[in-house]
Amino acid sequence: IGAPPNSDNWPALAKDVRNEMLSAWRNYRERAWGKDQIKPISGGFESFSLKNQHLGLSLIEALDTLWIMGFDDEFRDGVDWVKTNLSFDVDGEVSVFETSIRLVGGLLSAFHACGDPALLAKARDLADRLLPSFNASPIGIPHRYINLRTGALRGQETNPAEAGTFIPEFGFLSQATSDDRYRAAAKRALISMFERRSKIGLLADKIDCMTGEWKSRRATIGPPSDSYYEYLWDGWDLLGDRECLAMYRTCTAAILKHQPIRHGPDLWFANVDFETGKPLDNEQDELGSFYGGLLAQGGNKEIGRAHTRTWARVQTRYGVLPESIESTNLAALSTTNDLRPELADAAFNHWLIDRREEWRHLVRDHYLEMKRWNKARYGYADLADVAANPKVQSDHNPGYWWSEQMKYYYLIFADTPRVDYRRLYLSTEGNVLRGLRRRT
Ligand X SMILES: O=C1NC[C@H](CO)[C@@H](O)[C@@H]1O
User: Does the footprint of ligand X cover residue 341 (CB under 6 A)?
Assistant: yes
Angle at 352 between CA 349 and CA 353, to 5 degrees: 90
Among 428, 431, 433, 436, binds ligand X (CB under 6 A): 428
Interacting partner of 341 out of Ca ion, ligand X, none (Cβ under 5 to 8 A depending on kind): ligand X
Q: How far is the CB of 393 from ligand X (least distance, A)?
A: 17
User: With respect to ligand X, which residue has the nearer C-beta, 273 or 429?
Assistant: 429
Q: How far is the CB of 295 from Ca ion (least distance, A)?
A: 15
User: With respect to ligand X, which residue has the nearer C-beta, 58 or 428?
Assistant: 428
User: Does the footprint of ligand X cover residue 227 (CB under 6 A)?
Assistant: yes
User: Does the footprint of Ca ion cover residue 428 (CB under 5 A)?
Assistant: yes
Stretch that binds Ca ion, among 27-35, 251-259, 361-369, 427-435 (CB under 5 A): 427-435
Q: How far apart are CA 195 and CA 51, in angstroms?
A: 37
Q: How far is the CB of 388 from ligand X (least distance, A)?
A: 22
Site for ligand X in 283-312 (CB under 6 A): 287
Q: How far apart are CA 217 and CA 215, in angstroms?
A: 7
User: With respect to Ca ion, which residue has the nearer C-beta, 198 or 428?
Assistant: 428
CB atoms under 10 Å from CB of 9, counted, come to 16
Stretch that binds Ca ion, among 65-73, 259-267, 349-357, 424-432 (CB under 5 A): 424-432
Stretch that binds Ca ion, among 129-137, 237-245, 260-268, 423-431 (CB under 5 A): 423-431
Q: How far is the CB of 319 from ligand X (least distance, A)?
A: 18
Q: How far is the CB of 11 from Ca ion (least distance, A)?
A: 28
User: With respect to ligand X, which residue has the nearer C-beta, 28 or 228?
Assistant: 228
Among 54, 144, 258, 340, binds ligand X (CB under 6 A): 340
User: With respect to ligand X, which residue has the nearer C-beta, 198 or 225?
Assistant: 225
Contact 382, 336 (CB under 8 A): yes
User: With respect to Ca ion, which residue has the nearer C-beta, 236 or 290?
Assistant: 290
User: Does the footprint of Ca ion cover residue 405 (CB under 5 A)?
Assistant: no
Contact 350, 305 (CB under 8 A): yes
The residues of the shown chain that bind Ca ion, judged by CB under 5 A, are: 428
The residues of the shown chain that bind ligand X, judged by CB under 6 A, are: 227, 287, 340-342, 400, 404, 428-429
